[in-house]
Amino acid sequence: MEALRLVVIGGGAAGFFGAIAAAKSNPRARVILLEASNQPLAKVRISGGGRCNVTHACFDPKILIQNYPRGGKALLGAFTRFQPQDTVAWFAAQGVQLKTEADGRMFPTTDSSETIVNCLLKVAKTAQVELRTQAAVVAVKQLKEQKSASENANSGFEILLKSTEKILCDRLLLATGSNPTGYKIAQHLGHTIEQPVPSLFTFNVSDEKLTQLAGISVNNVKLNLLVGKHPLLEQTGSLLITHWGLSGPAVLKLSAWGARALHASNYQATLIINWLPQLSLEELRQKLIACRNDSTKRLIVSHRGVDLPQRLWKYIVSRAGISAENRWSQLSNKNLNQLVQELSQGKYFINGKGVFKEEFVTCGGVNLKQVNFQTMESKLVPGLYFAGEILDIDGVTGGFNFQSAWTTAYLAGTAMAK
C-alpha cells in the first residue's frame, strides 16, 4: 500500500509543530511542509523581543482559556489534550529547557528565540519532514471520487504552487497564519472567515504633557475602556507611558479584548484610569486631606500625597487644574474633588493605535464552529485540518498565542496521520 501523503501549508510555529506531530505519530507517512518564504519560522525568530515567549505557566485549562478573547471556549477541550505542561515537556524532551518569569511568561533558558527555531528545524529534519521553502501555495482543489451516481467521496487535494507545480496529497493541514492567501483557500473550500483585524497594540493619546513622561510605568492601575456603545471593558495591571501614549500589559490586554470594537470605532475611545485602585475613594480623599492638614506649607506639586512617581504626580496635579504655586493649605474643596477625580477616574482620549513590537496577532480567521476541536479537522471538508493563527483564536500577550498554535497543531498533526 502507498504511504499516506500529508501536506502542511505554512512553515511557522503551527506548521512545524503539526508536521512534526504527524511524522512522529505515523513514521510511514510522507509529510511535506510547504513554506512560501525562504525563511521558515520567521515569526518565532522575532518573537518575544528575540527571546520567544514560548508559553505561559498556567496549567489549569479552565484558567488558561480566560486569556483568549476569541477561541477560549473552543480551546477548553483541546487544552485538556495538549496544554502548557505538555509544551514544556515536549521541548524538554528535545533538550530545550524553559524558565518561568515572575509574571508567568515562559522563555527558553538561553533567552534566545534561535534555540526554539533550531530545535524545531532539527526535530523536523530528524522526523523526516520534507521542508520546501519558496513554495508559495496559491490554490487548493478538493478532489472527489465518484462512488456512485449520487455520492462523492473525498479523495484528497490538489495543491497549486505559485511556480505552477501541482502537488497531490491525501490530507492537508492549513497553517498559514494571518496570510490572506490562507484565508482565501479556506474560504474557497467553503469556510467562513471572521473578519481579520489587529490585536495586541498600544493606545495613542495626543497629550504632549503625558507623552513627555515616556518611560514612567505604574505597577497597578485599573483601566476602563469605553468604545461607543459597547459594554465597558476593565483590566488591572501595569501601565507604561510611551512617546505616543500608553502601553504595558493592562493596555495590551484591553486592546485584545476590545480589538473588534476598537477597529469598528477607528480606534477612537475613552480610557478611564484609576491610578490607585488599591485605595477606596474615601481612603484616597482622607490621604489628601491629611496632607492639607499636616503639610500645609509644602507645595502640592512637590509633596506627593500618594504613592506615584513624582513627575506623574505633578502632571496629575496640573490636570486637576491646581496651580504649581499652590501649597497644601491652599487646596480648596473643589480642587480636592478634582484631584480625587483625576487620580481615580482620569479620562484620556484614545485617537489611534500604536505598535507593540514584542508581539502582535490577528483576531479573526476560520470560523470555529466549522472545525472539530477533537482533531482540528474541518467539519465541511474531510481530510482538511487547521492550526494556529488562521483560526479565529487569539490570546492576550504572555505566550498564549504560541500555546494555541502548539495545541491546535499537535492535535491536527496527530489526527491527520492516523
In the complex, the residues that contact ligand FAD under the rule CB under 6 A are: 9-15, 34-37, 40, 42-43, 46-48, 52-53, 136-137, 175-177, 179, 181-182, 358-361, 388-389, 399-402, 405
- Residue 81: CB minimum distance to ligand FAD, A: 18
Q: How far apart are CA 133 and CA 11, in angstroms?
A: 8
DSSP character at residue 101: -
Nearest partner of 359 among 44, 116, 35, 14, judged by Cα: 44
CB 117 to ligand FAD: min, Å: 11
Q: Which is nearer to ligand FAD, 233 or 405 (CB)?
A: 405
Residue 47 or 335: which CB sits closer to ligand FAD? Answer: 47
Q: Of 159 and 331, which CB lies nearer to ligand FAD in the complex structure? A: 159
Q: Which residues of 290-316 are buried (b: 16+ CB within 10 A; e: fewer)?
A: ebbeeeeeebbbeebbbebeeebbbbb
CB of 260 to ligand FAD, least distance (A): 18
Tell me which residue has its CB nearest to ligand FAD: 12
Q: How far is the CB of 356 from ligand FAD (least distance, A)?
A: 8
Identify the DSSP state of 370. G
Say which amino acid occupies 286: Q
Which residue intervals of 61-110 are DSSP H helices? 61-64, 72-81, 84-93
Least separation, in Å, of the C-beta of 175 and ligand FAD?
A: 5
Kind of pairing, strands 377-378 and 371-372? antiparallel
Strand, coil or helix: 165: coil
Please give the biggest Cα pair distance in the chain: 96
Q: How far is the CB of 96 from ligand FAD (least distance, A)?
A: 15
- 185 vs 227, which CB is nearer to ligand FAD? 185
CB of 129 to ligand FAD, least distance (A): 14
Q: Which is nearer to ligand FAD, 142 or 176 (CB)?
A: 176
Smallest distance from ligand FAD to CB 15, Å: 5
Nearer to ligand FAD, 199 or 335 (CB): 199
CA distance 154 to 252: 43
Sheet holding 245-247, edge to edge: 346-351, 268-274, 217-226, 233-241, 245-247, 201-204, 353-355
Contacts of 280 (CB under 8 A, 6+ apart): none
Q: Which is nearer to ligand FAD, 36 or 273 (CB)?
A: 36
- 42, 43, 48, 50: CA torsion to nearest 10: 10
- Select 89 or 355, whichever has its Cβ closest to ligand FAD: 355
